[in-house]
Chain A
Amino acid sequence: AQKVTQVQTEISVVEKEDVTLDCVYETRDTTYYLFWYKQPPSGELVFLIRRNSFDEQNEISGRYSWNFQKSTSSFNFTITASQVVDSAVYFCALSEGRDKARDDKIIFGKGTRLHILP
C-alpha cells in the first residue's frame, strides 16, 4: 500500500534562511510518481513539481530545489533564501503507476506548515 510521511508538522524560520521539508514514501511499485504541492492561506493547492521513479536527477527551479533519493525513499524539498510569501502548507504526494493507467490514486502526506518570519 502507498504511504507518504511528512514528519515535520510545522516549521518556523526567519526570512532569508534556507529550509528543507522532508518527505518519505512507501510503495511496492517500481513505477511511481512523486509530487509537491503548495497550499497558501487561500486554501487552493498549487502544483509545484512531479518526478517519476526512473528519474533521480535533482531539480532546481529558482529558489526551490528537490532531492530525490530512491535508496532512502525520500523526496525532500528545499527553499533557499526563504521569503515571507513562501509561508504555506506544503504537501508531498505519491501516485503509483499502473498498466491500467486510469486507476491511479494520489495519496498525500499530512503536510508541513511553514512559517517564514520577517
Chain B
Amino acid sequence: SQTIHQWPATLVQPVGSPLSLECTVEGTSNPNLYWYRQAAGRGLQLLFYSVGIGQISSEVPQNLSASRPQDRQFILSSKKLLLSDSGFYLCASGPYSGANVLTFGAGSRLTVL
C-alpha cells in the first residue's frame, strides 16, 4: 500500500517570504500526484496535478507553482507568499487509473502572517 510523506507539518511564514512544501510517495511507481488546499469554508480545492515527471497541470491561477523532479516527489512552491495562501495543504497520490482512489498525506498547515 502507498504511504505519503509530507513536510513540514506546520509552517509559519511572513508575507513575501518563499515557500517549499515537499511530498514523497512510497509503495507505488508512476502515480498521479495532486496538491489540494483546504481553506476555512472552502473545502478541498485542487491546485495542481501531475501525471508524470515534469508534467504539471494547474487548476487555479495563483502565485503558487508545483514541480515533479522525480517520479515520486512533488513539490509546492512560492516565491512570495500572500496572506491568502494560508491554509492546510494536502498531497495525494493515485494509481494510473480512470477510477482513482486517492491516498492522502497528513497535510502541511501554513500560516502566513
The interface on chain A, measured as residues whose beta carbon lies within 8 A of the other chain's beta carbons, has a size of 30
Count contacts between A and B, CB distance < 8 Å: 73
For residue A28, give the distance in angstroms from its CB to the closest CB of chain B: 16
A43 proximal to B (CB < 8 A)? yes
B99–A52 CB distance below 8 A = yes
A64 proximal to B (CB < 8 A)? no
For residue A97, give the distance in angstroms from its CB to the closest CB of chain B: 4
Closest chain A residue to B43 by CB distance?
A110
- The SS class assigned to the B binding surface is strand
Closest chain A residue to B97 by CB distance?
A101
With a cutoff of 8 Å between Cβ atoms, the chain B residues found around residue A105 in the complex are 46, 49, 57, 59
With a cutoff of 8 Å between Cβ atoms, the chain A residues found around residue B45 in the complex are 108
A43–B51 CB distance below 8 A = no
Closest chain B residue to A99 by CB distance?
B98
Given contacts A105-B59, A106-B94, contact A33 B36 (CB under 8 A): no
A91–B106 CB distance below 8 A = no
Q: B104 is contacted by which of A33, A45, A103, A107 (Cβ under 8 Å)?
A: A45
Q: How far is the CA of A11 from the CA of B99 in the complex (A)?
A: 29
With a cutoff of 8 Å between Cβ atoms, the chain B residues found around residue A9 in the complex are 41
Q: Which residues of A does B touch, CB under 8 Å?
A: 6, 9, 31, 33, 35, 37, 42-47, 50, 52, 91, 93, 95, 97-98, 101-111
Given contacts A104-B98, A105-B59, 11 further A-B contacts (CB under 8 A): A43-B90, A43-B107, A47-B102, A50-B99, A91-B43, A98-B98, A104-B97, A105-B49, A106-B102, A108-B36, A110-B44
6 tightest Cβ-Cβ pairs between the two chains A and B:
A110-B43, A108-B44, A101-B98, A45-B104, A102-B51, A97-B98
